[in-house]
Amino acid sequence: MSRRVVLLVNPTSGKGRAASGAPVVGARLRDRGLDVVQVQGTDAEHAMSSLREALETPTDAVVACGGDGTVHLALQVVAGTEVPLGVVPLGTGNDTATLLGMPKDPAACAAIIGSALEQGAHRVVDAGHVVSADGVARWFLAVMSSGFDSMVNERANTMTWPGGQARYLRAILAELRSFQPVPYTMVLDAGNDQEHRHEGRGMLVAVGNGTQYGGGMKVCPGALLDDGLLSVTFLDELPTMTFLRVFPTVYKGTHVQRPEVHEHMARTVRLEAPGQVAYADGERIGPLPVEVEVRPGAVRLLAPLV
C-alpha cells in the first residue's frame, strides 16, 4: 500500500507562489510513488477542519505549502500526534521554514520530505502551547509575543492599504505615535523552586520555542527547538528614539547585549497585562493573561536533521 501525504495549501500565500509551487511538490512526491491529496479552505477555520477531515483516513504525513500561517494551521492538527509535518516555504516571511533549514525551492523541499518519509527519518522537536484569557488554545513552533509588535499586528490587520510588507511598515510608524509601555506581570516556572516573578513596564515580551519571527527578527536568539525550554525576552520601557535605535538590532539578535533586554529560560510562562493581546507565529491568539508552556517532543518534522 502506498504512503499517503496530505498537502495543506494556501493558494494566496506569497502573492500566488503557493498556487504555482504546490503542484510541483505534489508531482515530485507522486514520482516517488506517494499518494498525494491536496486540501485547502475558504478561510483558516475551514482549512483546519478540512485538514482534520482528511486525516480521518490514515495518513503518513502532512505538508504545509504556504507561509507561516499555513504552517500554524497544520501544526494545530498534527502537534501531539504521530503524524509528521513537512514545510514548503511559499509565503512571505517563512520564518518557520528558515528555522528548520528548508530551502526556498519547492522541488528541493519535496526531495527532502520524500527522502525523510522513505527513510523514516523524523526530526523530533518541542512545541509551545498557549492558552489565552478567552480560552483559545494554540500550538506554536517559533515565537509567541505581546507588546509593541502585537499592537502593530492589530493595527495592520485593520488596514486595507497598502499590501504586503509595506502595510506592516506603515503600521509600525503609526503605532510608534501612540504606543505606551505596558505594565507586565510575568511569572516563570510557577510553583517550583525555580519560580521567577517580574513586574515592570516593558515594550514587548517574546516567548520563543524558536529564535525568530516577523520575517527574520531574531527576537529570542537563545532558543532551541529541542531543549525542552522556552527562551523569554523582556524589553524594558524605552524612550521612542532609543527604541528606534534598538529595534533594528533584533534582525541580528544583538539586541540581547543591551542592558534594557533581559533573557530568561523557563518551562512555563504566565504573562499578564491590561489591554494586551498575544500573537504566535504571526497569528492572533487572544487577550492576556496567557499561560504558555513547552511540550517536549510534540512535533515530528520532515526536515534536515540539524
User: What spatial distance separates the first Cα and last Cα of the chain, rounded to whole Å?
Assistant: 31
Sequence-distant (≥ 6) Cβ neighbours of residue 91 within 8 angstroms? 10, 13, 14, 17, 18, 66, 67, 68, 69, 70
d(CA 51, CA 78): 10
Taking CA atoms, 292 is separated from 86, 145, 208, 295, in Å, by 25, 11, 10, 10
For residue 305, what pLDDT is reported?
67
DSSP line for 110-140? HHHHHHHHHHT--EEEEEEEEE-TTS-EEEE
**Cβ-contact 126, 297 below 8 angstroms:** yes
**Cα angle for residues 9, 10, 12 (degrees, 5° grid):** 145
Spans of the chain below 50 pLDDT: none
Q: How many CA atoms lie within 13 A of 86 on its CB side?
A: 32
**Cβ-contact 204, 247 below 8 angstroms:** no
In this structure, the answer to whether residues 156 and 91 fall within a common structural domain is no
d(CA 111, CA 118): 11
**Cβ-contact 114, 152 below 8 angstroms:** no
**Element (DSSP H or E) covering residue 153:** helix 148-156
Whether 304 is covered by a domain: the verdict is: no
For residue 101, what pLDDT is reported?
92
d(CA 218, CA 99): 10
Find where cell 520530505 sits.
113
The domain tally of the chain equals 2
Which of these three, 68, 93, 121, is where a domain ends?
Answer: 121
Which CATH number goes with the domain that contains 90?
Answer: 3.40.50.10330
For residue 50, what pLDDT is reported?
94
All three cell numbers of 300: 515530528
pTM, two decimal places = 0.93
Whether 306 is covered by a domain: the verdict is: no
Which of these three, 60, 89, 121, is where a domain ends?
Answer: 121
Which of these three, 102, 121, 140, is where a domain ends?
Answer: 121
**Cβ-contact 52, 42 below 8 angstroms:** no
Closest of 185, 279, 269 to residue 229, by C-alpha: 269
All three cell numbers of 6: 496530505
Provide the domain limits for residue 244. Answer: 130-297
73-97 b/e (C-beta count within 10 Å ≥ 16 → b): bbbbbbbeeebbbbbbbbbbbbbbb
Which CATH number goes with the domain that contains 172?
Answer: 2.60.200.40
